[in-house]
């Protein structure tokens, strides 16, 4: 196994937390920790909320909190993310156990946060870890798990899970296009495309919702904890953007990360998961499998959902790039995000013709 099977690194100075305060808070709410303060590490993945591994002698925990600095208006809602997972867990097994939540007032880290059980397993990043030997057959199995688990999530009984309050009714697809367009305009810096033509194209081509389902909002391999032996999905992470909406929009957002071997070199550079490996299906094949499993049909050509997913990803990257330009973060992983935004917006413009 690698020296760090958790995908963590030392906590960055700008993201440091008061370990003693966290320990006092956690001990009042969680059992079985053992003696002593935890070793604290920071998960390298993720570019929105901050995630820490708390390694106690008795068990491992995970703490989530927002970053410091400017935040998007609807993002970083720890209470919402905590409650979605707490309510969903009895109806969708691949959800970590929620253990404790703190408001801004009683938080040990200066902002609302929550702690959940750590789920051991493998999380895929840009390249396959050396210890996980994956041939073409295993890569195809990975892709099937990716698609089928998403389709399964979209079958959750919303009312039985107590999540009906998240449903804002019809027009989800239109709200998404309008909302992400507004966020791009608000976060745009002078070194990225204005995106006006892409946003206009999306607004002109947005279809009616095909269904209403629980959508994850950021479905990708590095939000899945995998069993290293069976490749089953043990846990799904990062429920920050989960809501009730059109499941095809969720699939479109997921496939924005799906870079395949015949994509142009610029798009290859933004790959962050190993979808280029032999055995991995193409994006079209992923869509076909999802439609077969979900029973849904496309109301328009898939191009709309592809452009939407890429544009949405560009906005997320731009919101982070805005923080970099404003000096609100020095995370070296974000240094290329301005270039990433440009690549994604060019790809959107090429498709939106």
CA–CA separation, 49 vs 230, rounded Å?
A: 29
CA–CA separation, 122 vs 133, rounded Å?
A: 12
Q: Which residue has the higher pLDDT, 2 or 305?
A: 305
For 148, residues 6+ apart whose C-beta sits below 8 A from its C-beta are 289, 293
The answer to whether residue 69 scores a pLDDT higher than 60 is no
Q: Which residue has the higher pLDDT, 67 or 278?
A: 278
How many helices (H) and strands (E) the chain has is answered by: 10, 10
Q: Are 212 and 172 in contact (CB under 8 A)?
A: yes
Q: Are 111 and 65 in contact (CB under 8 A)?
A: yes
- Please report the domains of the chain, with CATH numbers, ordered by start residue: 8-117 (3.30.200.20), 136-351 (3.90.1200.10)
Q: Are 102 and 25 in contact (CB under 8 A)?
A: yes
The answer to whether residue 202 scores a pLDDT higher than 50 is yes
Sign of CA pseudo-dihedral 234, 238, 243, 249: negative
b/e code 321-346 from CB counts within 10 Å (16+ = b): bbbbbeeebebeebeebbbbbbbbbb
For 44, residues 6+ apart whose C-beta sits below 8 A from its C-beta are 7, 8, 9, 125, 333
Q: Are 246 and 209 in contact (CB under 8 A)?
A: yes
Q: Which residue has the higher pLDDT, 226 or 47?
A: 226
Report the candidate in 203, 195, 213 with the shortest Cα–Cα distance to residue 295.
Answer: 213
Report the candidate in 249, 243, 286, 240 with the shortest Cα–Cα distance to residue 156.
Answer: 243
CA–CA separation, 105 vs 100, rounded Å?
A: 14
Q: Are 118 and 53 in contact (CB under 8 A)?
A: yes
Over the stretch 112-144, which tens digit does the pLDDT of each residue have? 999 999 999 999 999 998 878 889 999 999 999
Backbone phi, psi, residue 290, to 5°: -60, -45
Q: Which residue has the higher pLDDT, 344 or 353?
A: 344
CA–CA separation, 306 vs 293, rounded Å?
A: 19
pLDDT at 70: 44
pLDDT at 73: 44
Over the stretch 70-115, which tens digit does the pLDDT of each residue have? 454 455 789 999 999 999 999 999 999 999 999 999 999 999 999 9
The answer to whether residue 307 scores a pLDDT higher than 70 is yes
pLDDT at 298: 96
pTM comes to 0.92
Over the stretch 203-226, which tens digit does the pLDDT of each residue have? 999 999 999 999 999 999 999 999
List strand residue ranges (DSSP E) for the chain, in order. 8-9, 39-43, 50-55, 60-65, 98-102, 113-117, 213-215, 224-226, 233-236, 243-245
Backbone phi, psi, residue 50, to 5°: -95, 140
pLDDT at 330: 80
Across the chain, what does the average pLDDT equal? Answer: 93
CA–CA separation, 264 vs 317, rounded Å?
A: 20
Report the candidate in 74, 29, 88, 71 with the shortest Cα–Cα distance to residue 54.
Answer: 29
Q: Are 167 and 158 in contact (CB under 8 A)?
A: yes
pLDDT at 45: 63
Q: What is the DSSP string of 124-188?
A: --SS--TTS---HHHHHHHHHHHHHHHHHHTTS-TTTTT-GGG---S-HHHHHHHHHHHHHHHH-
């Amino acid at each position: 196994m690698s020296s760090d099977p958790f995908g963590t690194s030392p906590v960055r100075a700008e993201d440091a937390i008061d370990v003693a305060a966290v320990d006092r808070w956690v001990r009042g709410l969680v059992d079985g920790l053992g003696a002593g303060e935890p070793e604290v590490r920071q998960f390298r993945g993720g570019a929105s909320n901050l995630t820490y591994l708390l390694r106690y002698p008795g068990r491992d925990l995970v703490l989530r909190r927002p970053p410091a600095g400017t935040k998007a208006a609807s993002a970083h809602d720890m209470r919402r993310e905590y409650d979605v997972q707490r309510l969903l867990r009895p109806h969708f097994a691949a959800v970590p156990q929620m253990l404790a939540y703190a408001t801004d007032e009683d938080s040990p880290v200066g902002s609302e946060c929550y702690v959940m059980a750590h789920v051991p397993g493998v999380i895929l990043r840009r390249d396959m870890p050396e210890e996980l030997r994956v041939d073409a057959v295993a890569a195809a199995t990975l892709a099937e798990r990716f698609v089928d688990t998403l389709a399964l999530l979209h079958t959750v009984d919303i009312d039985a899970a107590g999540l009906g309050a998240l449903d804002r009714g019809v027009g989800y697809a239109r709200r998404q296009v309008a909302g992400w367009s507004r966020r791009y305009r608000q976060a745009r810096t002078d070194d990225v495309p204005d995106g006006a033509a892409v946003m206009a194209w999306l607004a002109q081509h947005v279809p009616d919702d095909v269904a209403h389902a629980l959508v994850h909002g950021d479905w990708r391999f590095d939000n899945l904890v995998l069993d290293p032996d069976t490749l089953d999905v043990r846990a799904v992470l990062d429920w920050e953007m989960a809501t009730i909406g059109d499941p095809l929009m969720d699939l479109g957002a997921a496939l924005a990360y799906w870079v395949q071997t015949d994509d142009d070199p610029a798009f290859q550079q933004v790959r962050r998961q190993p979808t280029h490996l032999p055995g991995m299906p193409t994006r079209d094949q992923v869509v076909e499998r999802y439609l077969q499993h979900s029973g849904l049909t496309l109301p328009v050509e898939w191009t709309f959902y592809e452009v939407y997913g890429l544009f949405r990803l560009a906005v997320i990257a731009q919101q982070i790039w805005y923080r970099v330009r404003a000096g609100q973060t020095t995370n070296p992983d974000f240094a290329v995000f301005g270039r990433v935004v440009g690549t994604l917006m060019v790809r959107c413009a090429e498709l939106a013709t």
